A and B are shown apart, each in its own frame.
Chain A
Amino acid sequence: MIRINDLRHRGLEIPELTLDARHIAVIGPNGSGKTRLLEVCSGIEEPGTGTIRILGRSPSSLRVGWVGEFPDRTLLFSRVYDEVASTPRFRHQPCPETERMVMAAARMVGIGDLLERRVASLSGGEKVLVALAAACAGEPEVLVLDEADSHLDAVTAKRLRQVVQESPAAHVLWCTQSMDTAAMADCVIFMEGGRVRYSGTPEEVFEILKETCYYPAIWRLR
């Protein structure tokens, strides 16, 4: 359960929002506050005013896995293995446990063949998968994806969706510009001007957005 009350933070204004769903898609125009919402929900930023409770706790006390749109800005290490291992290492996990977590995350994401590669030699999409593996290596309670699918082809995006579905995370917060991806969520929230305009099931929200381009392409053909 995610509960937001009286939130005001750098352009965000959410008086009250309760989300009782595992997979939550966050959609809306560029600059509508989607990333800002993900940042306060993941504990990266503390809200100016208001409260956010996820699983009954403050976001900063949760294990959060974050996958951004521009992995070049967040990848820290030059070798893929070290990048994925950074999550357990920063948590002071012993070496055998780190090894186990890296291998499990690499297997889950399907990047076992990339572990010895230099990060600089990877394509943009491969870097997103490495960032996803690093996020999953922390066994997150909340998995946050900030337009992580923007630079992925259909096959890799499908793999990303599978990993997200199979992840044991209690909540997935996924900001995406792919309405076909958003349509697979349990809950969709549409943001505009820092506010949550609509929230509900994909059917409910997309029915309201039917006359806009924020409507799943494949649904148009039904």
Chain B
Amino acid sequence: MRVELGEVVFGRDGFCLRGSGTFGEGIHLVSGPVGSGKSTLALLLAGLLTPDRGTVRRQDVKSVLLLLQFPEHQVTAPTVAREAASWGIAPDEVLALAELEERADDDPFHLSRGELKRLTLACAFIKCPDLLLLDEPFSSLDCETKRWVCGMIEERGSGTTIIFSHEQSVLPRVDAIWEMEDGALIGRGSVPGAISSWRHAPAYLTYALERGAQPENIRLSDAREALCRIRD
């Protein structure tokens, strides 16, 4: 199972995205500044945009799901339970996972920002698609819920998960790092080798690298363990 970008070029409103690369099974992190093209890349990978040139090929991918940065853009039903059902899954299971059992009959727009995000994330994790694209899954969430999201991402046993994020404190274990810079997709490679060349790394990773530590992965706990190793 993989998604291949072959010399993709996509332009709009003076912005141009360019990129090639293969997203295999595992967890991929795509980071980059605001406006660098992360969301556009997510839409291209999901097949919701067509490149002007080049190809997006999905091999052995039977199901694709994209969670948008702003969850309210994805709401289609008037109650929380019916919103869950609209994803084709049992509402009870979703509400239990999202801890929203008491809100089943509420309007989704009456949920707090974090609750609505939790609802759409729970739907996505239960659907468990082959290709899961998460556009800024951590924004709006408190640190406890970010940890919950990380756990759910890490527990996905198979498939390809691509996270588009600039999160700087709570991140999951990932297999590969990519960066968007001025519309260009740059593959940094597999983790841990990719960490040292990651330009938009969180401050805690940079701190650890500057002191000669070599984190095994990108979580805060990885940075702490690496620092402990060199301090010992």
Contacts and interface: CB of A to CB of B under 8 A. Distances in A.
A51 interface: no
Interface residues of A, number: 35
Contact of A217 (B12, B141, B169, B227): B169
B113 A69 contact: yes
B33 A31 contact: no
A150 B33 CA distance: 13
A151 B143 contact: no
Contact of B69 (A28, A124, A154, A156): A124
A154 B202 CA distance: 8
Contacts of A198: none
A62 interface: no
B220 A154 contact: no
Contacts of B36: 153
A123 B227 contact: no
B115 interface: yes
Interface in A146-194: 147, 150-157, 177-180
A221 B140 contact: no
Q: Which of A70, A150, A220, A221 has the most CB of B within 10 A?
A: A221
B83 interface: no
Given A147-B140, A151-B69, A154-B166, A221 B34 contact: no
Contacts of B227: 221
B142 interface: yes
A156 B34 contact: yes
Contacts of A70: 70, 72, 113
Contact of A123 (B35, B115, B145, B147): B35
Given A30-B115, A70-B70, A213 B168 contact: no
A221 B208 contact: yes
Contacts of B115: 30-31
A155 B145 contact: no
A125 interface: yes
Nearest to B40: A123
Interface in B191-232: 200, 202-204, 207-208, 220, 223-224, 227
Interface string A16-37: 0000000000001111000000
B34 A30 contact: no
Q: Among A69, A121, A124, A157, which residue has the most Cβ atoms of chain B within 10 A?
A: A124
B59 interface: no
Nearest to B227: A221
Contacts of B12: 121
Interface in B15-55: 31-36, 39
B6 interface: no
Contacts of B144: 29, 213
Across chains A and B, which 10 residue pairs bring their CB atoms closest together, nearest first?
A125-B34, A30-B114, A213-B143, A153-B166, A123-B35, A217-B169, A121-B13, A150-B139, A153-B33, A29-B142
Interface of B: 12-13, 31-36, 39, 69-70, 72, 112-115, 136, 139-147, 166, 168-170, 200, 202-204, 207-208, 220, 223-224, 227
5 contacts: A72-B70, A153-B32, A217-B168, A217-B202, A217-B220
